[in-house]
Structure 1
């Protein structure tokens, strides 16, 4: 069996003989192993094993991609807006004028790199306090979503995906609407924390991604699942690129932060309206399905417990190990964004909002282009397995983080971006591998567990990484980047154990 075969021992989880034939009972049902497909309706009744046809036939070829674009446009726009607003509020309270806002060269720490300078010391204190506030916001938004995502995800297998798509947009709209009011009336930072907590109750980004990718899994075959997931991830990257530029320009033009916050709230409203108008339920909902049901959590847990049919395939231990790798790879993706912005706002870089916006935009677009080209080259020409692609991605990310930790000039930051151009491949490829290890009936539970790990990664990353940055920024600001690189190194070791 070739390494790039779709049904390699790692990917194939059912010893089912595939037989394409019409049944002899006159029903016109196409039988594929233990899975039954109706050509007229496009729906499949799944009883186990993998299928080469989608579970449901979508009404349009494009389904959740616009939803992901709109939702993630708002989501990724909040990151630079929130951290820069926190930074300026903290600086204002501590009597510090950031270098990008300073009109006096004597108060620019980028022009005075003497670490004993009062301005430099004050800047590091502002950096540390801003990192702490960023941690508080992350805790408020993730402490609840870590748990509710499990229920929302497992519920979607019976109650439909649509509710899990709607909830995060409602929560995001409440949060951003509250931000607009709080910023307009110049409320203190702690007044914004309840908005983040409310967003967490609605599941926030992890539930949105879980529902969107589960929706995709329902309308994909095993052959086109990887490319559809990568296209969806590309929609995320394009949204992030445009959002970062837009927010950066608006912050520069409207330093009160009200207008960019209102713009993001409007985009979130569009995501909500798109879901209502263009994302119907794919199948019939079970009227007995409950949103908060302990059996839903048990269903997720059973996915990672040994069953009678797991002795030969070793599916469960692969799921466990790959989910742990997913956690290590997700922590930097989810939690490092705010720290990276603080990092380039600090000496010796002192970037302003516009430069941060353009840099992040170019970075996201470059990452997506390199991810698509890299995946095509590694899978089509080099015939690498999906797990090997993840390992290459981790090596790219590890090298980039080491370079960023040691960077002293803007040029090195740009080179670091080029070195890490393949790091975006890890998460979508891990989603694909995990999805192929689950049956169609288990997709909701699987993506609920993935979303749980994303939320857990956000919570762990926000607490641990923010605390590390706050505690080490004064003596080695790149130490946190080394820690992030260590997560990718651990991922490489675990994947090496899995493959070899």
Structure 2
């Protein structure tokens, strides 16, 4: 008896993915007839390649955020004819009754507004380009999209170096961000790395471990990026970390071109499809009746992931400005050390705890732990009045990566091998939209609320995690109820 239908072209049904290999048959992707290069050590280079790329990307993100913050402080204090310590990268005033405090608040507000401009110029074109390029990876292969992602970010970095070195107006960053947005932004690169992991693993626990490997390599790069950016800015200049990032991305491009094997060979690709058909595959998971009872699972997974990512993605720029302002007054180096310490915690307790939780918890429940971890972190951050509380918040966030790892793994395991690119293109497109809305929203909220409660924006972010948690509870209850019905029918 057919219990759960897959697509109309499926030769066998898709089953549920709650407890890893114990409850999934799904679609396998690697067989005994796989090309020799895909069974060699070179396939694991996808992890180091992601690390090098994200190291350069995030180092540039921290640098431009801190450069914008520093530049606006210099402008506002000069306009107010107030002298400041020019050797400091962070102008911080603790006395709320002083004129310096008012100027510092205005400068922080303007820096937050400029982060909105950068996000809009990058995010709007990325929404369209990411969906199109991400969908075409199932027709053109994975390496094509990896090359596009690296090239776009490298161009933005080159223009950013020129802008900072020659001290051009900061509005020129908008053009640089727009160029990168047209190539899909960071999400394009991340989604194709996840699709690559989906190509070389089997559904279930192996797929989850593959996603964990990708997230571990991602986290490793973030650890080093925040520390390196802080050190280079503090001891050299703002354009130095950007120039270093350009060199690293050039190395990454040639690593991808020469050493990394293609995980999706021509014989597996769906060619001859129109743009409408290719892009339509990414949305079909959530709207097509062909996916039967799996359609609502895709919907809940995507919604929960979107709300959680809203809180996580939007915090970085605002959090950096928050830490460099009253009452913390952190330098660029301290910001970098904090980011490194937090990411190490996420790698040790978040990524590597997946296998432990899989021993006794359903996949959806593991994702819920990650959501609660982020919610607790943002609540503590909002109420923090000293550095110790910020580090406590970082510790609480350690299990956050569980959400992203598990939800992506479940969605990937529900999908056919020929649609791995399409499913990750759908998730990446939502992440791009969420990243845009979150960066604009958090920067705008912080700009307005900084004068009455600096941490208010983090309470807002925590509420989005609360929504994601509720969605996952509904998903878990409904999914288990469906499984019980299927078991009864079989009996």
TM-score (normalised: structure 1): 0.86
Deviations 1:382-441 (A, max 9, x none): x11111011111111111111110000111111111122111221121111111121112
1:241 aligns with 2:223: yes
Counterpart of 1:413 in structure 2 is 390
Contact 1:159 1:290 (C-alpha < 8 Å) held by counterparts: no
Work out the CA distance in 2 between the residues paired with 1:291 and 1:258: 44
Which is richer in helix? 2
Unmatched runs of 5 consecutive residues or more in structure 1: 15-34, 44-53
Q: Is the 8 A contact 1:55 1:440 kept in 2?
A: no
Preserved contact between residue 73 and residue 240 of structure 1 (Cα < 8 Å):
yes
Q: 2:408 aligns with which of 409, 416, 431?
A: 431
Alignment of 1:12-411 (within 5 A): 39=32, 41-42=33-34, 57=39, 60-95=42-77, 108-110=92-94, 112=95, 114=96, 116-222=97-203, 223-255=205-237, 257-285=238-266, 289=271, 293-308=275-290, 310=292, 314-380=293-359, 383-411=360-388
Structure 2 vs 1, CA of residues 226 and 189 (structure 1 numbering), >3 Å: closer, same or farther? same
- Between the aligned partners of 2:213 and 2:199, the Cα distance in structure 1 is 16
Cα deviation code 1:130-183 (max 9, x no counterpart): 111011111111111111111112111121111111101001110001111111
Question: Offset at 1:359?
Answer: 1.1
Q: Which moved more, 1:164-173 or 1:288-297?
A: 288-297
Deviation sequence 1:316-337 (CA, Å, 0-9, x none): 0110111011111112322211
1:47 maps to none
By how many angstroms is 1:291 displaced? 10
CA distance in structure 2 between the partners assigned to 1:274 and 1:55 by the alignment: 15
Give the SS at the match of 2:21: coil
Shift of 1:102: 6.5
Distance across 2 between alignment mates of 1:373 and 1:396: 15
- Where in structure 1 do 4 or more consecutive aligned residues deviate above 4 Å? 11-14, 35-38, 54-59, 96-103, 286-292
- Of 451, 456, 476, the match for 1:499: 476
SS at match of 1:462: helix
TM-score, normalised by the number of residues in structure 2: 0.87
Q: Deviations 1:193-229 (Å, cap 9, x if unpaired)?
A: 1111000111121110111111111111123111121
User: Shift of the alpha carbon at 1:37?
Assistant: 7.5
Q: Flag structure 2 segments of 5+ consecutive residues without an equivalent.
A: 1-15, 478-491
- Residue 363 of structure 1 and its aligned partner are, at CA, apart by 1.1
Alpha-carbon separation, structure 2, partners of 1:176 and 1:432: 32
Q: Distance in 1 between matches of 2:401 and 2:367?
A: 9
Distance 1:438 1:7, change over 3 A: farther
